[in-house]
Chains A and B, each alone.
Chain A
Amino acid sequence: MMSHLIQSWQLWLREWRQPSFRLLWIALFIAVVTVAAITAFTSRLGAVFDAGAARFLGGDLVVESSRTLPEDWAAIATSNGLQTATTLEFASMLNANEQMQLVSIKAVDAGYPLKGEISVSREKSVVSDIAANDLEVLNSGPASGEVWLAPRLFKLFGVALGDLVTIGRAEFKVGALLYKEPDPSFSLVNVAPRVMMHFSDVAKTGVVQPGSRLKYRLLLAGDESALGVFSEAVEPELTASQRLIAAREGRPAVSNAVQRAERYLLLGGVLGVLLAAVALTITAQFYAQQQKDTVALLKTLGFRTGQLLRRFAVFLGISAITATVAGLSVGWAAERWVAWALRDLLPPLSGSLPLTWIWLPIITLMIVLVSFAWPIFLGLSKEPPMIILRQGAASQEMQRLLGFSPLRLLIAALGFGGLLWLYSGEFMIVLTVLIGLAGMIVVASMLMKLWLKLSPPTKTLVPGALRYGAEQLKRRPWATVPHILALGSAWSLLLTLFLIRTELIDNWQAQVPEDAPNHFLINIAPYEVEPMEEVLAAAGVDTAPLYPMVRGRLTEINDQPVKTVVSMENIGALNRELNLTWMDELPGDNRILEGQWWDKEGEEAETSLLPGVSVESRLAERLGLRLGDKLTFTIGAEPIESKVQSIRSVQWDSLKPNFYMVFPTGALDRFSATYLTSAYIAGSQAPVVNEINRRFPTVSVLELDQFVVKVREVITQVTLAIEALLVLIFAAALLVVASLLAREVPVRRAETALYRALGAHRKVVVGAVWGEFALIGGMAGTLGLMVAELVAGFLQHRLFEMPFSPHWLLWVAVPLASALSTAFYAYWRLQDVLKAPPHGTLQSGFVE
């Protein structure tokens, strides 16, 4: 046994002397590094996102209720080692200096905050005076007897720190200016500026009465298993007014960003693995090609197929083991380095990496070896020696042995599919990427056939270098096609990632730009619309359009009461009133998925029957609505009937007013409406808020500042993560290109030397190299971009729910960049041959 091992090792070491074998090993190593680094990095980032989302929610898990929560729930949590905090939010009037204002009160206990910090100022009460170092970052809420007020309230009441204010029956001292809380709420119900107080003070205000609109929250933090135990214990006891919220589903704006980023990372991982597989396949082919003489010789000497296969198994096995050990070490170091390099930008990483980090690269390697490399060696080992010996590398027979037969393509596709499935578990990603690549193979083969039929370019029309290059390409189509395919795959994978990244980041930035709406103005009466527009215009504030809003309840679907047709879990949405609106134009960030938006003229005829309604897609799904369904709403006491005319997707994270139900103009004329809008009010325009409060006392101004800042923070983190991933993938793509050209170098050296011996001027040879590789690069770049546009467009549409448009600039830039970089790399690899006397190179002859 031992001697077998030693013998295998010696055999392997001997093989190691061959450059092509070392290249194969490097490809294995890269595959492991890529998968390990990406897996480790993704899981780390996943943890970072969870931490961010938890901070935003206020805990890893939250129980929300409109009534007091059972006390034993907190006890269950504590006994499982979870940290807890309780908060209560309600609206009340705040009195000071003989003025009154509706405020949103958040009462917090000693455990608050569980995640993140509260930042306050105890020195200054005018926001514009506050410098960064005036802010204190605290890990606890106000003491009993004290309240902290939102900045706007100081101005509105003319109060200063230390003054007294009244809430209900109790008096409180103003302890601090509340600058930032870790879990700001954001809803159209919560319209008033924030006041924070201690939980134990709630009772003495006497404000909280049965029937008050309350939001109790039990915040929980701790490890996943304890949270799981808690959820299991509590879930069966939840009543209709209570719900469990996990960090990820907390806020649509944040959770959407995180979910997209995670899908993106997953996609990045998948493409990284694919690139590694492509590199491995190329190098395995190269090595097998180099092995053909040895195999033939060994066969002549009487080696049987089984013995040859054992020999290759030893080579590949030892390579796989050594590459895995080396790759995992480097992958681990890379992950540490990235974490270190981003330490200022990401929160500290805790805990150990999941084991997927180790087994995923190993399984990847096995799948790649078995489905991509092994069939090549199998083919080589089975052939009679003379066939192998007599065939040149470029011959079709050799291509059959080493290249892509239909069966081998099928095995490879199955391998790819399995690999992607294992990695992502996302059927859509796997299918799209595979179809994209298969499409590229078909298109490339067709293009090559077309290319071969074309007559050679004439001297007068095409510059010399390109002509030589084109001739070279025509001469070796069966060597060129795999090149273009492999290089094209690398480009397509890289570009897919790049395109989605660009769209993703642009999309986020478009949603939360510097001037994203930071105030909502709601409850504007119809007669206030014009004066409000004047006030805002005078202050130079840009607003979204003013949307009318009528509150109504959906009571019947197709003449059946909703309670009988909608399942219990989905009925929650209908228990409260929905905001109904009307509009002529579809908002820019809404998209019609089914049916048609109404155009102004055509609407007249429709309204004579039943007015149409456009329903938000997720609500439609939950309620099982289809186009043409008849919906009955009750507004006040009066019913109104309509039919579903379109189903619409809505970007809930756009920070603009969005509606579940949209009617055509005129349909709701009978009902009294209020208006709402959102606006970006810059710091310098702050007085306008006070003016609005003064002139329109019934209008509620909802401040979103903190919310917007939070969303931006998360997006910055996610963007960084995506960019880091792109760098990793780019490195993998470069390695594919390098291994591809490395394979070409020996043949080209021999050819170049011969040309030189025959007296070719350096310019001619250099030109031919540039021309040929520029053409290969250009074709690969074009194909890659084509596939990337299609795949990215599809994924964007289906997975990321974003619109897609082609990138015309890239259609120039990518083929050009690909052509130049490929040609330059080839030139760089061959330049010593171009300069040196040909004698030395010629002696080694044509390596096939």
Chain B
Amino acid sequence: MNDISVKNTVLSTRQLTKYVPNGVDRLEILKGIDLQIKAGESLAIVGRSGSGKTTLLSILAGLDIASGGSVIMMGKDLGSLNEDGRAALRARHVGFVFQSFQLVPTMTALENVMLPLDLNGTANSRDRALDWLDKVGLSERHHHYPRQLSGGEQQRVAVARAFVTHPALLFADEPTGNLDEETGQMVMELLFKLNREEGATLVLVTHDTDLAARCDRALMLNHGQLDLS
């Protein structure tokens, strides 16, 4: 690993493990994962249900903590940070798209997109959020609540919310899992397009092999281990 590659690496893990207690025993979900993700790269993590891919994504994004090993994000060891430290890192560098959209039901589409900007204390949050809603084609519906939007529209709001802070890293957990094929396809087109424009690093969890094929790289997770074949 030379200096340049270290510089280009935005996210890396070393001997990452995760287990949960299971009675007297413990259930190992991740078993010694080593990986490096470079800036601007798009990476798909694929695997069957229960292979540990969502857990891996959560740990990579700092939403969950590892049982062993280390995760380095933007040069910072996530294990050495407390929850607030990780939150600060997420606020600055990370965007998310969830399978279940995770929109706040009591906020309008616009307020949901403004949310991360407001949390960061960014100026002009309203204009910037409107801008992004426009980019995902929902500027007309900015005052609608999540329940008034279809699944695809809700996910587009979530995509706008993910990009609005210009994150260096974008994590997407089965972003099309709750959508029909056509809508899913549309959302993914949007996601890849915006990702290209923004130059963000995309880490995507999916069981859809077609989707994985569109990424620069795909990693297969099998029983908690990377299947290098």
A-side residues, CB < 8 A to B, are 390-395, 475-476, 479, 751, 754-762, 764, 835-840, 842, 845-846, 848
Top-5 shortest CB links A-B: A759-B91, A839-B64, A759-B90, A839-B63, A392-B147
Of the listed residues A755, A757, A764, the one surrounded by the most CB atoms of chain B closer than 10 A to its CB is A757
B57 and chain A: residue at smallest CB distance: A839
Q: Report chain B residues within 8 Å CB of A848.
A: 105
In the complex, how many residues of chain B place their beta carbon closer than 8 angstroms to a beta carbon of chain A?
33
Please, what's the 1-or-0 string for B133-165, where 1 marks a CB less than 8 Å from any CB in chain A? 000000000000111000000000000010000
B58 and chain A: residue at smallest CB distance: A839
Given contacts A392-B147, A845-B100, A846-B102, contact A758 B64 (CB under 8 A): no
Contact A759 B106 (CB under 8 A): no
B120 and chain A: residue at smallest CB distance: A759
Contact A756 B83 (CB under 8 A): yes
How far is it, in angstroms, between the C-alpha of A837 and the C-alpha of B145 when the chains are bound? 27
**Binding stretch for chain A, among B24-32, B34-42, B111-119:** B111-119
Q: Report chain B residues within 8 Å CB of A754.
A: 102, 104
A476 and chain B: residue at smallest CB distance: B106
Given contacts A759-B90, A759-B116, A760-B91, contact A392 B145 (CB under 8 A): yes
How far is it, in angstroms, between the C-alpha of A846 and the C-alpha of B102 when the chains are bound? 7
Please, what's the 1-or-0 string for B48-91, where 1 marks a CB less than 8 Å from any CB in chain A? 00000000001001111100000000000000000110111111
Given contacts A758-B90, A759-B91, A759-B92, contact A764 B119 (CB under 8 A): yes
**28 A-B residue contacts at CB 8 Å?**
A391-B147, A392-B145, A392-B147, A395-B145, A475-B107, A479-B106, A755-B115, A757-B102, A758-B90, A758-B115, A758-B116, A759-B87, A759-B89, A759-B92, A760-B87, A760-B91, A760-B119, A762-B87, A837-B63, A837-B64, A837-B83, A839-B63, A842-B63, A842-B98, A842-B102, A846-B102, A846-B104, A846-B105
A393 and chain B: residue at smallest CB distance: B105
How far is it, in angstroms, between the C-alpha of A394 and the C-alpha of B88 when the chains are bound? 30
Please, what's the 1-or-0 string for B147-191, where 1 marks a CB less than 8 Å from any CB in chain A? 100000000000001000000000000000000000000000000
Given contacts A392-B105, A392-B147, contact A759 B88 (CB under 8 A): yes
Contact A759 B119 (CB under 8 A): yes
Of the listed residues B96, B105, B161, the one surrounded by the most CB atoms of chain A closer than 10 A to its CB is B105
Q: Report chain B residues within 8 Å CB of A476.
A: 106
**Extra A-B contacts (7), CB below 8 Å, given A755-B119, A756-B83, A839-B63:** A393-B105, A475-B106, A759-B90, A760-B87, A761-B119, A762-B83, A845-B102
Q: Report chain B residues within 8 Å CB of A839.
A: 58, 63-64
Contact A751 B104 (CB under 8 A): yes
Q: Report chain B residues within 8 Å CB of A392.
A: 105, 145-147
How far is it, in angstroms, between the C-alpha of A119 and the C-alpha of B189 when the chains are bound? 100
Q: Which of A758, A761, A835 has a CB less than 8 Å from the CB of B96?
A: A758
How far is it, in angstroms, between the C-alpha of A760 and the C-alpha of B120 when the chains are bound? 7
How far is it, in angstroms, between the C-alpha of A764 and the C-alpha of B90 when the chains are bound? 14
Q: Which of A479, A758, A761 has a CB less than 8 Å from the CB of B84?
A: A761
Contact A838 B84 (CB under 8 A): no
Q: Report chain B residues within 8 Å CB of A840.
A: 64
Q: Report chain B residues within 8 Å CB of A755.
A: 115, 119
Q: Report chain B residues within 8 Å CB of A393.
A: 105
B112 and chain A: residue at smallest CB distance: A754
How far is it, in angstroms, between the C-alpha of A846 and the C-alpha of B101 when the chains are bound? 10
Q: Does B94 contact A (CB under 8 A)?
A: yes
Interchain nearest-CB distance for B13 vs A (Å): 16
Interchain nearest-CB distance for A484 vs B (Å): 16
Contact A835 B83 (CB under 8 A): yes
How far is it, in angstroms, between the C-alpha of A848 and the C-alpha of B91 when the chains are bound? 27
Q: Report chain B residues within 8 Å CB of A479.
A: 106
Interchain nearest-CB distance for A84 vs B (Å): 75
Contact B65 A837 (CB under 8 A): yes
How far is it, in angstroms, between the C-alpha of A842 and the C-alpha of B104 when the chains are bound? 12
Contact B111 A475 (CB under 8 A): yes
Interchain nearest-CB distance for A829 vs B (Å): 18
Q: Report chain B residues within 8 Å CB of A757.
A: 61, 63, 90, 96, 102
Interchain nearest-CB distance for A142 vs B (Å): 82
